[in-house]
Structure 1
């Protein structure tokens, strides 16, 4: 079974700056996945422009199949050294992971990558190559299932300088923190979020530098199949349910009509769980053989809002782990943590209730909510497949 490359990153801006001077780009190609972290000199607009230019050059050239040495050569000509401070205009970390599992890593003036393998912190076997006077660290590893790589900008190891910590958060301390987080957080995004949230605390909520973490985990694929809405042709109900039940992974059903169809075709009872009712979200249901059963458009709309908050907020307060009886929280948590591949079974039958002019505009069309859901799940780095029925 092909492994899944789970990539999750998080950044916070230097205090009082509207733009982040760090930039991350992830490119999923046919033969490899390319991850680039660039840290522009200084902060604010200038640093943002420099880091954006760096990741654009690297990702575009590598995607076109250019040799990585040529890429660095181009960067060297494009981004000269600051004559006053004798510093590169942008530092960078480049990670290219091939389908074979081979990973090629280049690091220039960013903090060293943290590699966790078999429950231990491992040092990379580094060589140094020199291109136009720049010493660049080069590493090659065989990325194995369970491995975790985390690339950092220097805002991470500077966290707390002159405040919570005299000398900042040293690399060794960051590594130990990541080792603990490796066991408590399943998704790469959550690892990066946890790290950056801690950095923000060490800065007393006033970061002294742009701060970024990019985490990469090699995971076994985890599928979630979600059925939302009845088929346009009722005569295909039986065929659709059989196809849905044969699909991979966990099964989620969203919608009262959809739940009734599933229960009828499986010859099971749909039981409404009144203990899960809340002021905002209708109660969940239970059908034997289905992992989650929820109401439809209202719940999905709330899932979309939770995912939006999760993506734009470095903290975890968008997921309420204490309230997983809420259908929307349960679906969102599953999509974030227990899903690498999402397969949607979308029924095209029209539900008159969703066209009610008294509904908020964003709820008037189920399809719009599902489009937003697909977009957000893709932003999380998951693979999405859609089956219209």
Structure 2
């Protein structure tokens, strides 16, 4: 499938618990995505151990091609027994997507919500009995704008005994999701809205561990970033042409790289005075390029912004509303589904520490750190070095 499988997940710990009793595992490969969510018995440490073991076992075995029967039996035999209730118990839901074919496995979690182009559609489920467990399986096709939302009990119980006597209820969640899908297209925004609403219903004191995974089929949003000059000067024109022929947004990082692009395209580099930040060099304009920034300092600051974003699990970009070069670069990369880095390996002597080996160039290490952060956010990243 040429479209992008956008995935986001978020959790609320039960009030006064340091660990969440729900666990999520995402596996992403080329043309293949698997999302596993498990809800451990109870809450706190025990529940966290149960759910963590479950998602690790289920995702690993299914990813390796094991039969569902073997997976369920392994989970049952592996989970520790709860001394209080004398059962080993963790529910789980698995969504695997290969191409445009989706396969769903559900065990004792709330039913997955499926929206076809924003409109709710009932999933035809087949019941499979494995031992004393009833597992529901289903297979179907996914198209552009389709959504799957996986939730734990904490979502449909939100507000129970407080704002809502009987909790939010599955049908009410379905109606809510149909409304926010009309407004939001990115999985992170949908997930953030859902979890924030749950927290509000709980009056900021969740009565249960609460988790949601949002899977959305979106159009691919591509960005190509040229960082620094190539080692060989005779490759300048080739790299710039590769940049200009790429689909989507185009970014140039580094003063020397900007001069190369300016020379090859015969376009001026115009430094912006619109926003001045004492810690971050200003961005610039080149006709045909969406963003031009300085190199190492801006990239390092962008890395810091991404770390803050990931640490806070905050999908509301309003808090990152500054207009400096690093924040602009963050917004472009966070917007992207596919990022292609064209990394020049020419050494800038001004960026070197004589105590380090020559191959530990600061620029390359910062780019590699940025790539790692983008992969944590499930971006498709490609890197070409020159």
Do they superpose with TM above 0.5? yes
Residues 310, 183 of structure 1: CA spacing in aligned structure 2 closer, same or farther, 3 A cutoff?
A: farther
Please state whether the residue corresponding to 2:257 is helix, strand or coil.
Answer: helix
Change (3 A) 1:91 1:25: same
1:310·1:318 contact (CA, 8 Å) conserved in 2? no
Unaligned runs of 5+ in 1: 358-363
**Aligned equivalents of 2:240 and 2:153: distance in 1?**
52
Q: Is the 8 A contact 2:275 2:324 kept in 1?
A: yes
Q: What is the distance in 1 between the residues matched to 2:108 and 2:86?
A: 13
Q: RMSD value over aligned CA atoms?
A: 2.5
Task: Give me the whole-angstrom Cα distance separating, in 1, the residues matched to 2:230 and 2:50.
Answer: 50
- Give the corresponding residue for 1:126: 125
- Structure 2 equivalent of residue 361 of structure 1: none
- The one of 364, 383, 386 equivalent to 1:386 is 383
Q: How many residues align?
A: 381
How far did 1:377 drift? Answer: 0.5
User: What is the 5 A alignment of 1:248-259?
Assistant: 248-259=247-258
1:81, distance to aligned residue in structure 2 (A): 7.8
Residues 54-63 or 124-133, more deviating = 124-133
After TM superposition, give the deviation of residue 268 of structure 1 in Å: 0.6
Change (3 A) 1:196 1:278: same
* Residues 1:348 and 2:345 are matched in the alignment: yes
Partners of 1:311 and 1:193 in 2: how far apart?
13
CA offset at residue 40 of structure 1? 0.6
Q: Is the 8 A contact 1:197 1:314 kept in 2?
A: no
Match of 1:196 in 2: 195
TM-score (norm 2): 0.90
- For residues 32-51 of structure 1, what are the structure 2 equivalents within 5 Å? 32-51=32-51
Q: Is the 8 A contact 2:229 2:256 kept in 1?
A: yes
User: d(CA) in 2 for partners of 1:372 and 1:37?
Assistant: 28
- Flag the 1:334–1:269 CA change in 2: closer, same or farther, 3 A: same
Q: Which residue of 1 aligns with 2:154?
A: 155
Q: Deviations over 1:300-334 (max 9, x none)?
A: 222212222222223345653643x3222222222
CA distance in 2, matches of 1:122, 1:382: 28
Q: 1:119 to 1:317 in 2, by over 3 A?
A: closer
Q: Matches of 2:180 and 2:137 in 1, distance apart?
A: 26
Residues 134-164 of structure 1: CA deviation (Å, up to 9, x unaligned): 2222222211121110100111122222333
Cα deviation, residue 132, structure 1? 1.3
Alpha-carbon displacement from aligned partner over 1:182-213 (angstroms, at most 9, x marks no partner): 23333223322232222223323322222111
User: Residue 142 of structure 1 corresponds to which residue in structure 2?
Assistant: 141
Distance change >3 Å, CA 292–CA 147, structure 1 → 2: same
SS of 1:176 mapped into structure 2: helix
Shift of 1:356: 7.3
Q: What's the TM-score once normalised by structure 1's chain length?
A: 0.90
Which of 312, 330, 333 is the equivalent residue of 1:332?
330
1:26 is displaced (CA, Å) by: 1.6
Contact 2:321 2:327 survives alignment (8 Å) = no
Distance 1:128 1:161, change over 3 A: same
Query: Is 2:13 the partner of 1:16?
Result: no
Structure 2 distance, partners of 1:288, 1:156, is: 48
Q: Which has the higher mean CA deviation after the structures are superposed, 5-14 or 77-86?
A: 77-86
Judging changes above 3 Å, is the alpha-carbon distance between structure 1 residues 145 and 42 closer, same or farther for their aligned structure 2 residues? Answer: same
Could you tell me how far apart the structure 2 residues matched to 1:354 and 1:80 are?
A: 53
Aligned residue in 1 for 2:266 = 267
* Correspondence for 2:28: 28
CA–CA distance in 2 between the matches of 1:216 and 1:370? 28
